[in-house]
Chain A
Amino acid sequence: MHELSIAMGIVEAAMDEAKQRNVQVSAVHLRLGALSGVAKDALLFSCEVACQDTPLEGSRLLIEEIPVTVFCPQCKENRVLESVQSFSCPECASPAGEVLQGKELEVYALEVEE
C-alpha cells in the first residue's frame, strides 16, 4: 500500500502551506483523479495515521474525486468517461484521445481557523 507515503506527502504539503501563512488547519481539500493510482478509502485511513502527533491531528480530509476527461477526436469535444475501464467516447463510442484530466493528486485548498 503506497497510500501511507502519499498521505505523508499530503500532511507535509499542508503543514508547509499552513506554516508559511501562520494558520491552524481544520480541513484539507484534496483533488483526487480517477487515474491517480490512489484508493480513496485507503488514503482516508492513511491520512488519519499520518496526521497523528502533527499540528494537523484532528483535521478533516475532504476528497473531491475527479473523473477522467478525454478529448474525443471524432466529436472534437472534451468528454467525461463513465469508467476507467472504458476509454471510449460516451457519445460516439470511438476510442478516446488524449487524457486531459483525471491524474490529479493535489492539495487544492486548506480550511483554516482565524
Chain B
Amino acid sequence: MSEPRLIEVRRNVLKQNDVIARALREQFHDAGVFVVSLVSSPGSGKTAFLEKTLTQLQPRYRVAALVGDLATENDAVRLARSKAPVKQITTGTLRHLEAAMVQNALQDWDLHQLDFLFIENVGNLVCPSSYDLGENLRLVLMSVTEGEDKPQKYPTIFNSADVAVITKNELSDAVEFDWDAARKSIESVRPGMRIFRLSAKTGEGMTEYLDFLSRQLAEQRAVVHI
C-alpha cells in the first residue's frame, strides 16, 4: 500500500462568516452607525436591559435592534414597546447568530437613518463566541443572580467581548453578590476589561453606561478611513 501523502491547505473554517462580517463592519462605518452586540446566558435580563437602553437613548439618538431567538417573537414584541424599529431573527435550532443572518435582516433597512444598532444574540454563552457579526462593540451581560464565577466558567465568550455589564444590581444584597470576586473573575479572563454595574429595573448606573456608548459613537465617527 502506498504511503499517505500530506497536503497543506490552511483553510479557515469560518472564512465565509468572517468575509461577510468584514463587509458589514465597513457598511456600518460608512453609514455612521455604531453597532453593539449583546451576549449572555438565557434569563440574565438581556431583553429588559436592551429595552431600557433603547428607551433611554431615544430622545437623543436614532436607535434600532435586531433580536435573535430560537423560536418565539416574544422578545421583539417586548422591545417594540420602546417604539424603536425592531426586527426578529428566528434561528430555529441554531443557538447563535451568524453574519449572514444579520446581513439578510438588514437588507431593507437604511442604516444611514440610524445612530445605534443593537444586535441581541441568542441567550447562550458558548456558541456566539466563534462568530464575528461585524459589530463595533461586543457586550457580555451577566446578572448578580448568576454567581461571581461566570466569567471563569465561560472564559472564551468573556475574552471575545469588549465590555462587561453586570445587571440586576437591585438584587445584589439579597443574593450576597461579591463584587470584588466578580471583578477578579472578569479580570482573570480579560485583563483591563471595562465593567459596568447597573440595574435596568431601577435605572441605577445606566447613565454611566449610556455616556460610554455616546463617546464610542463620537469616536467612531471621528475615524476616517483612508
Q: Which residues of A contact B (CB under 8 A)?
A: 1-2, 5-6, 9-10, 13-14, 17, 21, 23, 26-27, 29-30, 35-39, 84-88, 95-96, 99, 105-114
> What 12 new A-B contacts, CB under 8 Å, besides A17-B9, A107-B11?
A2-B94, A2-B96, A13-B11, A17-B11, A23-B7, A29-B6, A37-B157, A85-B188, A86-B189, A88-B191, A95-B191, A110-B9
Chain B residues whose C-beta falls within 8 Å of the C-beta of A88 in the assembled complex:
188, 191
**A105 B14 Cβ-Cβ under 8 A:** yes
Query: Nearest chain B CB to A44's CB is how many angstroms away?
Result: 15
- A105 and B129 CA atoms in complex are apart in Å by 13
One of A35, A38, A107 near B160 (C-beta < 8 A): A35
One of A1, A96, A112 near B5 (C-beta < 8 A): A112
Majority secondary structure of chain B interface residues (helix, strand, loop or mixed): mixed
**B7 A109 Cβ-Cβ under 8 A:** yes
Query: Nearest chain B CB to A17's CB is how many angstroms away?
Result: 5
Q: Mask for B96-137, Cβ within 8 A of A = 1, else 0?
A: 100000000000000000000000000000110110000000
- A56 and B187 CA atoms in complex are apart in Å by 43
**B4 A2 Cβ-Cβ under 8 A:** no
Chain A residues whose C-beta falls within 8 Å of the C-beta of B14 in the assembled complex:
6, 9, 105
